[in-house]
C-alpha cells in the first residue's frame, strides 16, 4: 500500500532566493579564507624577519670573532703548518737524492752545504727563503747527475743496436732521441735459470736484513746478477718505520713468496720465469702462488710489452730525472739484464726498444744500481734486500 506523500512545491522566485543565499555564503567563506591566509602570510613574514635578524646577528658575531687575535693566530698557525709540510717534504726528497749520489761515490760537499743552509732557514721559519734555497739545491743536484751522465759515456764505445747473443757487452745505442750508453748481459733460458736471492727468509716490514749483490752472487754461484725492484733504504728519512723493506710480490730461490697477502689485488706488473720461458703479466694479481716456477719478480713500471713501449712517464719526478736505470727483459728465450745510463725511466724504454728487447720491467736505480758479470760492471751501490741472479742449469 502506498502512503500518500505530498511533495512541497517551489516557485521560480524561491529558487532565485536560494541561489542568491548560497552565493552570499560562498563569498563570505571565500573572504574568510583569504583573511586567514593573509593572517598566516603576515605571521610568516614576521617569522622570516626574526630569522633574518638572527642570521645577521650571528654573522656580525662571527666577523667579530674572526677579527680577534686568537682567530688570526690560528689562521697563521695553519699557514705555518702548511709551509712546514711543503718545505719539509721537498727537503727530505732532495736529501734522499744526495744519499743516492753518495752511494754512487759522488762528492756532495756543495750539495751538503746548500742543504744545511736550507735547513737553517727552515728552523727560523723563513719559508720563502728556504724554498728559494731548496730550488737552488735541486738545480745543483740535477747538474751533478747530468755531469755523471756525460762522464759515463766513453768515446771509444761503438754504436751498436744489437744486444750480445751471450755474455756481457758495453755499447752505445742510437735512438730517435739520442745515443745512450748501455751495459747489458744476455743469456739463453734453455741453459740458464733466473733466481732471486733474499737476505730475509720471509716477510719483513722494518729493520730488514740486506746484503751486497756480490754476496748474493757468491751464495748462489751465479755468473751474473742485477739489483732488484724498488725498496725503502734505511738511510731515507721517509723510510724511518720501514727500513730496508719492500712491498711488492716476489718468490725467492727457496720457493718462498714475499708480501703475498698484501698483493692479492696488486696492479704492479710482474715477470715469472719457469724452465726456458718467461711470462710477463700486467698486474701481480693475475698470478697465483705457484711454487713450481723458478722465480716471480714484481717490479714497476713495465717498460715494454710485446715489443711496444708501455711507459711514457707518470709525473713522478724521480722517474722523470736522468740517471742509471736497471732493467730485466726478454726476447723469445733470451734473458737480458743490464743498466741504461743517463736516461729517465721513459727514455730507458725507448733505448730498450731500439735494442730489439720484446718485454721489459724497470728495476731500482740511483744509489741501489748494481750489475755483476764476474765483477762489478756497475756499482756496488748500497746493500739491498734481494738480488736477481743468473745461474747455469
Measured CA angle at 77 (ends 76, 81), to 5 deg: 120
Q: Which three cell numbers stand for residue 251?
A: 718468490
User: Contact, 182 vs 154, CB < 8 A?
Assistant: no
Tell me the pLDDT tens digit for each residue of 165-222. 999 999 999 999 999 999 999 999 999 999 999 999 999 999 999 999 999 999 999 9
Tell me the pLDDT tens digit for each residue of 5-15. 344 444 444 44
φ, ψ of residue 309 to 5 degrees: the values are -70, 130
Tell me the pLDDT tens digit for each residue of 107-151. 888 988 888 888 888 778 788 888 899 999 999 998 888 777 665
pLDDT at 310: 96
Tell me the pLDDT tens digit for each residue of 52-98. 454 455 556 555 655 556 656 666 666 666 766 777 788 888 888 88
φ, ψ of residue 96 to 5 degrees: the values are -65, -35
Radius of gyration of the chain (CA): 38
pTM value is: 0.75
φ, ψ of residue 216 to 5 degrees: the values are -65, -40
pLDDT (mean) for 216-245: 95
Per-residue exposure over 98-135, b if at least 16 CB sit within 10 Å of its own CB, e if not: bbbbbbbeeebeebeebbebbbebbeeeebeebbebbe
With 60 as the cut, is the pLDDT of residue 152 above it?
yes
Amino acid at each position: 500500500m502506498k502512503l500518500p506523500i505530498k511533495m512541497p512545491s517551489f516557485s521560480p522566485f524561491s529558487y532565485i532566493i536560494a541561489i542568491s543565499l548560497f552565493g552570499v555564503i560562498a563569498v563570505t567563506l571565500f573572504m574568510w579564507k583569504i583573511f586567514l591566509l593573509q593572517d598566516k602570510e603576515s605571521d610568516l613574514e614576521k617569522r622570516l624577519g626574526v630569522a633574518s635578524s638572527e642570521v645577521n646577528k650571528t654573522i656580525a658575531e662571527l666577523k667579530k670573532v674572526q677579527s680577534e687575535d686568537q682567530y688570526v693566530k690560528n689562521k697563521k698557525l695553519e699557514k705555518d703548518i702548511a709551509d712546514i709540510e711543503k718545505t719539509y717534504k721537498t727537503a727530505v726528497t732532495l736529501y734522499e737524492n744526495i744519499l743516492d749520489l753518495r752511494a754512487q761515490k759522488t762528492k756532495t760537499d756543495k750539495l751538503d752545504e746548500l742543504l744545511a743552509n736550507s735547513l737553517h732557514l727552515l728552523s727560523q721559519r723563513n719559508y720563502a727563503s728556504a724554498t728559494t734555497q731548496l730550488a737552488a739545491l735541486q738545480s745543483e743536484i740535477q747538474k751533478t747527475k747530468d755531469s755523471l751522465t756525460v762522464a759515463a759515456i766513453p768515446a771509444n764505445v761503438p754504436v751498436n743496436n744489437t744486444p750480445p747473443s751471450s755474455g756481457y757487452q758495453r755499447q752505445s745505442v742510437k735512438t730517435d732521441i739520442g745515443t745512450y750508453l748501455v751495459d747489458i748481459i744476455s743469456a739463453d733460458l734453455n741453459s740458464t735459470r733466473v733466481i732471486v736471492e733474499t737476505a730475509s727468509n720471509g716477510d719483513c716490514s722494518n729493520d730488514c736484513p740486506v746484503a751486497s749483490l756480490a754476496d748474493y752472487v757468491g751464495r748462489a754461484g751465479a755468473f751474473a746478477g742485477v739489483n732488484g725492484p724498488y725498496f725503502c733504504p734505511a738511510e731515507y728519512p721517509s723510510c724511518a718505520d720501514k727500513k730496508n723493506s719492500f712491498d711488492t710480490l716476489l718468490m725467492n730461490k727457496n720457493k718462498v713468496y714475499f708480501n703475498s697477502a698484501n698483493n692479492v689485488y696488486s696492479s704492479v706488473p710482474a715477470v715469472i720465469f719457469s724452465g726456458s720461458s718467461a711470462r710477463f703479466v700486467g698486474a701481480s694479481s693475475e698470478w697465483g702462488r705457484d711454487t713450481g716456477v723458478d722465480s716471480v719478480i714484481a717490479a714497476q713500471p713495465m717498460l715494454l710489452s710485446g715489443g711496444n713501449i708501455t711507459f711514457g712517464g707518470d709525473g713522478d719526478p724521480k722517474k722523470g730525472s736522468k740517471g742509471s736505470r736497471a732493467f730485466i727483459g726478454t726476447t723469445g728465450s733470451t734473458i737480458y739484464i743490464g743498466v741504461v745510463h743517463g736516461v729517465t725511466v721513459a727514455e730507458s724504454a725507448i733505448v730498450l726498444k731500439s735494442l730489439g728487447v720484446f718485454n721489459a720491467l724497470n728495476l731500482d736505480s740511483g744509489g741501489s744500481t748494481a750489475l755483476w758479470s764476474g765483477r762489478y760492471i756497475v756499482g756496488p751501490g748500497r746493500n739491498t734486500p734481494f738480488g736477481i741472479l743468473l745461474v747455469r742449469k
